[in-house]
Structure 1
Amino acid sequence: MDPIDYYSKNANMYYDATKDLSMEDQLEKFISLLPEGSSVLDLGCGSGRDSLYLIEKGFDVTALDGSKELCELAEIHIGQDVLNMKFEEMNFLNVFDGVWASASFVHLVPEKLEIILEKVISSLKIEGVLYISLKYGDFSGIRNGRYFQYYKMRVMKEILSKFENVELIESWKTNDIRSTREEVEWLNILVKKIK
């Protein structure tokens, strides 16, 4: 099943399962690298949980998701419009100070990830910061009705090295914030657009 179809059909369940989880540690690390009140794209915003956090911290947030049903739920949650758009459809140029892509790329094979990253990096202003979180490991395949691609930092460094206009700031691993899924580790990456 196409991931967007999955999230559309299961929007209420996904919203309820994720809206109250805390990404505060990662969000604060990301925020610390941004100018106060700057513009942020929440890419694949899901329930709108992280958009709301950023809005409450005074950022000008553009929330975007491919699932129309999730966009509608997120709009209620954050109190503003959410763009219903696939990543491939994005065409922002030098607009955002930051892009927050939390679990946004977990369904993308490396070749597709490179294409989407080019669009995401283009959307950043010079000195803009991108946060990415991906499932950590070697697995690729179908789980729970969706395709998943796990990544190790070696692979991500190879992908990022193809973009001469970004530099890696930091990478680190974390456990899944859902207590029932402790076996899952996440790879967190912060990069800056330098030219």
Structure 2
Amino acid sequence: MDSLDYYNKYASNIFEDTVEQDMSDIMETFLECLEEGDAILDLGCGSGRDTVTFYERGFDVTPLDGSEEMCKLAEIHTDMEVLHMDFRQMEFDDAFDGIWACASLIHIPKDEIQDVLTRIAEALKKNGVVYMSFHKGEFEGFSGERYFSDYEEAEMERIIKESGRFKLLKIWETKDKGQGSSHGSEKWLNVLARKK
């Protein structure tokens, strides 16, 4: 079973666990870089919780998730079409002012993260911003039925720099607030970067 199989299998439970979580404090840091009406890709939208918030705040939001079952639940919750797509296969060109990847890249193996960052950069318009969050730590591998890639601050700074496509705006730590994908790590590494 890969991580997407897990989300398909347990979609209703994950929906219930995450749909009410309040991400507003972290979201404000991201939205300060954008203007009302800007186009946002909710990358790994899960329940659609954040898509609804972005929409209500006046943004042009596109929800996307790799799990077919999560897409179905998010469509009901958001009353919007949700794109079903693997992050590693997405191909957008200068389409979004902001990309919100909240707890969604945590299952990407470390040897594939640069390819995903390239796809994110290509999807962003000039000077577009991306928010990403990861478990803080050094673990990589399977925990239960899912694969996790954790990062320390210095490693993430190096990855952003080596991508050559982003300027790191902010990197900060927060405690777990039930983002719905924990494997024992209680701290999250939050990353805000702007496309060069």
State TM-score, norm by structure 1: 0.95
Q: Secondary structure at the match of 1:54?
A: helix
Q: 5 Å matches for 1:1-195? A: 1-178=1-178, 184-194=186-196
Q: Distance in 1 between matches of 2:10 and 2:64?
A: 18
Q: Secondary structure at the match of 2:106?
A: coil
Is the deviation greater in 150-159 or in 130-139? 150-159
Q: Secondary structure at the match of 1:13?
A: helix
Amino acid at match of 1:55: Y
Query: Unaligned stretches of 5+ in structure 2?
Result: none
Do the aligned residues in 1 keep the contact of 2:135 with 2:185 (CA within 8 Å)?
A: no
Say how many residue pairs are matched.
Answer: 194
Do the aligned residues in 1 keep the contact of 2:15 with 2:47 (CA within 8 Å)?
A: yes
Q: Distance in 2 between matches of 1:129 and 1:26?
A: 14
Q: Secondary structure at the match of 1:105?
A: coil
- The Cα offsets for residues 75-106 of structure 1, whole Å up to 9 and x where unpaired, read as 11111000001012211011100000001111
Amino acid at match of 1:75: E
Query: Unaligned stretches of 5+ in structure 1?
Result: none
The 3 A distance-change label for structure 1 pair 3 and 74 is same
The 3 A distance-change label for structure 1 pair 77 and 179 is closer
Amino acid at match of 2:59: F
Q: Distance in 2 between matches of 1:179 and 1:127?
A: 28
- Measured after TM superposition, the shift of residue 41 of structure 1 is 0.2
State TM-score, norm by structure 2: 0.95
Q: Distance in 2 between matches of 1:138 and 1:165?
A: 24
Q: Distance in 1 between matches of 2:17 and 2:161?
A: 35
- Measured after TM superposition, the shift of residue 178 of structure 1 is 2.5
* Superposed structure 1 runs of 4+ greater than 3 Å apart: 179-183
Amino acid at match of 1:191: A
Q: Distance in 2 between matches of 1:58 and 1:43?
A: 18
